[in-house]
Amino acid sequence: MLKIEKLSVFYGGIHALRGVDIEVADGKIVTLIGANGAGKSTMLNSIVGLVKVSSGDIEWNGENITGYSTKDVVSMGLVLAPEGRRVFPNLSVDENLRLGAYFRKDKAGVRKDRERCLTLFPRLKERLRQSAGTLSGGEQQMLAVARGLMSSPKLLMLDEPSLGLAPIVSKTIFDVIREINRNGATVLLVEQNARAALKIADYAYVMETGAVAMQGEGRALLNDDNVRKSYLGERDEIPL
């Protein structure tokens, strides 16, 4: 289980996270929703050691990992697929996938996970030797998620995986998120499409200006009048 207590982060004079408490139970999909600048991405970056924590604690299965290096956090099974995809454009699709398994020593497991990723994302199988920079935006997002899976994550964190994608491609991404979860991975999802995120989430947190404003089961928040008014559109953009 991931447990975050009273987490605070500053960017210069900006108080980006204000004493946030969040829990992610094993085997669940938990989502963070909220407007731009609410602190969602800062939360993920804090967990993996990319942002310095000012105060508070981050615990993973009872171990306090606050201040751990990104390398050490990843080696413990906490993996982030960042916003903006961040693929290596000059490397092939296959090379990007193999870099996801950089810290792994189990060659048989790596081969198995590679085949699993190519099954989840058949388009990547067709483009293994193609440079990642020449892929479409949707294909790059598929590669970013697959690269994260190659680390064999216990907790996979996804930052805006549907951002800028066509609805049909977004549906593929959300279908894969559910499949990843069914196969045993815990998922912490940051997503601008609040309606789609709440539909697949076991639990959700609504963030406003660096703090948790509301929380509850995903379906309950989906039907909450305040959430609907503030964060949900009139109709689904993604046919989940």
Query: pLDDT of 20-74, one tens digit each?
Result: 999 999 999 999 999 888 999 999 999 999 999 999 999 999 999 999 999 999 9
Q: How far is it, in rounded angstroms, from Cα 119 to Cα 35?
A: 34
Contact 151, 105 (CB under 8 A): no
Q: CB–CB of 220/189 below 8 Å?
A: no
* Residue 231, pLDDT score: 77
Residue 234 pLDDT > 80, yes or no? Answer: no
pLDDT at 229: 81
Helix-strand-coil percent breakdown of the chain, rounded to 5? Answer: 40, 25, 35
C-alpha 63/C-alpha 165 separation (Å) is 37
Structure tokens at 227: 């959430």
Q: Which tens digit of pLDDT belongs to each residue from 145-203?
A: 999 999 989 999 999 988 888 888 888 889 989 998 998 899 999 998 899 999 999 99
Q: Is 54 helix (H, G, I), strand (E, B) or coil?
A: coil
Which residues on adjacent β-strands are paired with residue 185?
Answer: none
CA 55/CA 200 separation, integer angstroms = 31
**Total-model pTM:** 0.90
Reported as a single tens digit per residue, the pLDDT across 191-219 is: 988 999 999 999 999 999 999 999 999 99
At 32, which helix (H) or strand (E)?
strand 29-33
Distance of CA 72 to the CA centre of its chain: 18
| pLDDT at residue 239 in the model | 53
Please give the backbone phi and psi of residue 47, each rounded to the nearest 5 degrees, phi first. Answer: -60, -40
Task: Single out the residue of 11, 43, 97 nearest to residue 212, CA to CA.
Answer: 43
* DSSP secondary structure letters along 55-85: EEEEEETTEE-TT--HHHHHHTTEEEE-TT-
Note the pLDDT tens digit of each residue in 60-110: 999 999 999 999 999 899 999 888 778 999 999 999 999 998 888 899 999
What CA–CA distance (Å, rounded) separates 137 from 97?
A: 17
